[in-house]
Amino acid sequence: MRVRTLAAAALAPLALSGLVACTPSARSDDASRVAVRFAAAVAGREGSQACSLLTQKARESVTGATNATCAAAVLNVQERGTGVGQVEVWGDAAQVQVGTDVVFLLHLPDGWHVSAAGCVPQPSAPYKCDVDG
């Protein structure tokens, strides 16, 4: 199921929440690694691994109103490619281009987690995402 998201707008307030004591490049690298791990888990049909990288809201989004488990539902996310392109980090939020998709992440106390995935830009809205949380 594709969900419209205003992820970029939703992440803007988080960017103002402050920085963690970590260099910008280290934060970018860490966010990129999680985004690539997520895309690789989906491509490799490793649903449990992919779900472990999602935020709680993203896990709820991916299952929607279905009775499917997160591990099963997340395998429907359309991730296209694994190479990292542009990476942007704003405090506790990040956007990573993985292949032809965009993955949005949030930095939580235990590290980076995917908050939206399978995202592609849309002419009438910022992004259209398979999972949005």
pLDDT tens for residues 56-88?
Answer: 999 988 888 677 899 999 988 887 766 777 788
Torsion sign across C-alpha atoms 7, 52, 29, 98: negative
From residue 66, how far is each of 2, 41, 63, 114 by CA, in Å? 14, 21, 6, 21
CATH second-level architecture of 3-132?
Roll (3.10)
Mean pLDDT in residue range 100-129: 88
Q: What is the pTM of this model?
A: 0.77
How high does pLDDT run on average in the chain?
78
The torsion defined by the Cα of 20, 23, 28 and 33, in degrees rounded to 10, comes to -90
pLDDT at 12: 35
Q: Mean per-residue pLDDT for 13-42?
A: 68
CA-based radius of gyration for the chain:
14
Instruction: Give the integer Cα–Cα distance in Å for 27 and 89.
Output: 7
- For the cut 50, the answer to whether the pLDDT of residue 9 exceeds it is no
Domain assignments of the chain as residue spans, ordered by start? 3-132
Query: What pLDDT score was predicted for residue 51?
Result: 95
| pLDDT tier at 30, thresholds 50, 70, 90 | confident
Contacts of 83 (CB under 8 A, 6+ apart): 98, 99
Higher pLDDT, 102 or 20: 102
Cα 72 → chain centroid? 17
Cα separation, 86 vs 36, whole angstroms: 13
